[in-house]
Amino acid sequence: MINFEYSRATDVADAVRQIAADPNAKFIAGGTNLIDLMKDDVERPTRLIDITRLPLKSVEETGGGGLRIGALVPNSDLAYHPLIAQRYPMLASAILAGASAQLRNMASTGGNLLQRTRCAYFYDIATPCNKREPASGCSAINGLNRGHAILGTSESCIATHPSDMCVALAALDAKVHVAGPTGERTIALTDFHRLPGDAPQRDTNLQANEIVTAVELPARGFKKNYTYLKVRDRLSYAFALVSIAAALELDGSTIKDARLALGGVAHKPWRDQAAEAALRGQAAEAATFAQAADLLLSEAKGYAHNTFKISLARRGIVRALTQAAQGTPQSQSDKKIA
C-alpha cells in the first residue's frame, strides 16, 4: 500500500492552488481510470484532490449558438442530454460506443479527455515503457502491438489514445477551457492531445498546474449527415481498433463540407483536414471516399501485428462516409438504463 493524502477542492481557484502546491498531486473525478492506475502502481500521486463537488456539472448554451459542457458532466448524462442528442448526435453516439453503462455513469467529461493509453506494457510495471518511465525503452515496438498506432508514431512510443468521445469532439471543432495560476485559456481539442515525439510521458498540452473546466462545442453539429463507426473485437465494452467520426454537409449529392477524425490509430484523435479538403466539392460516392481514405492513410506505418489496421481504416472510412452521406448512422447497441 502506497500512502497518499486526500483533500477536497472547494472551488476552481482552490483546486488550482492545491495542484500548484504539490507537483505529485492528481485531481480525481470519476476515478474510473486513475484508481486502476494507482492499484497497478503506474500512477503514485502523493495527494488526490477531489474535484467532484465543483460546480462544473452543467450543459449551457453559449451566445454563439454552441454549448458549454462542464468538466464534471458524466459521460452518460452528456450522451443523453436533449441538446446533445438533438444537435450533436455524433458526439452522443461516440460516447455510447465507449466503456459500459456503469462506467459512463461515473466517467466525467474532463477525465475522459485525460484518460491514459491502454497499451498493456504501460500498465505492466515489470516492462520498460517510455511513457511510464522516460528513457526506459518501448516494449511495444518489438513486442505485441496489435492495438497500437499506425499514424504519428515515434521511435519512443506507438501507443494510441483510447477515447471515443474525443474523436467526435475533434471532428466537431470543440475547444477545451482550462484554468491555471495565471488565469484561464482555451485550447483547440485538436491541439489538446500530443503526438509522442521524444516525450511520450506527456499525453496533453495541459500544464501540471491547470484544471480542465469545460468543453465548448461550436454551433455546427452536423446532425443530419454523420456517423460514428467503431470497429473493435467485441460489440461492447472494448476499446477501438479503429473508429471513425465522419460528418458531411451536402448540397444534393455534392459535398459542401466534411469532417473526418479517427480513433485507435494514433497517440491523439487523428483529424485530417487535407482529407476533408479533398472531399469538398466532390460527389458523395464511394470513389471520392476511397480517395480521401488513401490520402489520410498515405503515411500510415504498420508494425509486426497491426498492419491490418491500415486496410481496416481504409474500409472503415469509406463505410463511415457512406453512412454519413446516406443519413444512416451506425447505431450503438447500448440503450439508456433508467
Q: How far apart, in whole angstroms, are the C-alpha atoms of residue 168 and residue 333?
A: 18
Could you say which residues in the range 42-71 bind ligand FAD, by CB under 6 A? Answer: 51, 71
Q: Hey, what's the cell of 110?
A: 474532463
Q: How far apart, in whole angstroms, are the C-alpha atoms of residue 276 and residue 259?
A: 6
Q: Hey, what's the cell of 315?
A: 474500409
One-letter amino acid of 262: L
Size of the site for ligand FAD (CB under 6 A): 30
Between 286-296 and 308-326, two packed helices, what is the crossing angle to 10 degrees? Answer: 140
When asked if residue 306 is in the footprint of ligand SF4 (CB under 6 A), the reply is no
Alpha helices for the chain (secondary structure H) = 12-21, 34-39, 75-80, 82-87, 89-96, 101-106, 109-114, 120-123, 165-171, 189-192, 273-279, 286-296, 308-326
Residues 6+ apart with CB under 8 A from 152: 195, 196, 266, 267, 268, 270
* Part in contact with ligand SF4 (CB under 6 A); list of ranges 63-71, 117-125, 244-252, 285-293: 117-125
Q: Which of 16, 29, 170, 248 binds ligand FAD (CB under 6 A)?
A: 29
When asked if residue 128 is in the footprint of ligand FAD (CB under 6 A), the reply is no
Q: Which of 7, 8, 17, 31 binds ligand FAD (CB under 6 A)?
A: 31
Q: Which of 16, 26, 169, 246 binds ligand FAD (CB under 6 A)?
A: 26
Q: How far apart, in whole angstroms, are the C-alpha atoms of residue 199 and residue 205?
A: 12
* Part in contact with ligand SF4 (CB under 6 A); list of ranges 1-9, 130-138, 168-176, 306-314: 130-138
Could you say which residues in the range 187-226 bind ligand FAD, by CB under 6 A? Answer: 211-212
CB neighbours of residue 39 within 10 Å: 9
Q: Hey, what's the cell of 212?
A: 480542465
When asked if residue 264 is in the footprint of ligand SF4 (CB under 6 A), the reply is no
Annotate each residue in 64-103 with x if it binds ligand FAD (CB under 6 A) or - if it does not, as one string.
-------x--------------------------xx---x
Q: Which of 28, 38, 90, 138 binds ligand SF4 (CB under 6 A)?
A: 138
Q: How far apart, in whole angstroms, are the C-alpha atoms of residue 177 and residue 187?
A: 7
Q: Which of 33, 93, 117, 190 binds ligand SF4 (CB under 6 A)?
A: 117
Q: Which partner, ligand SF4, ligand FAD, none, binds residue 106 by CB below 5 to 8 Å per kind? A: ligand FAD
When asked if residue 179 is in the footprint of ligand SF4 (CB under 6 A), the reply is no
Which residues contact ligand SF4 (rule: CB under 6 A)?
117, 119, 121-122, 129-131, 138-140, 157-159, 200
* Residues in touch with ligand FAD (CB under 6 A): 26-34, 36, 51, 71, 98-99, 103, 106-108, 110-112, 114-115, 162-165, 211-212, 239
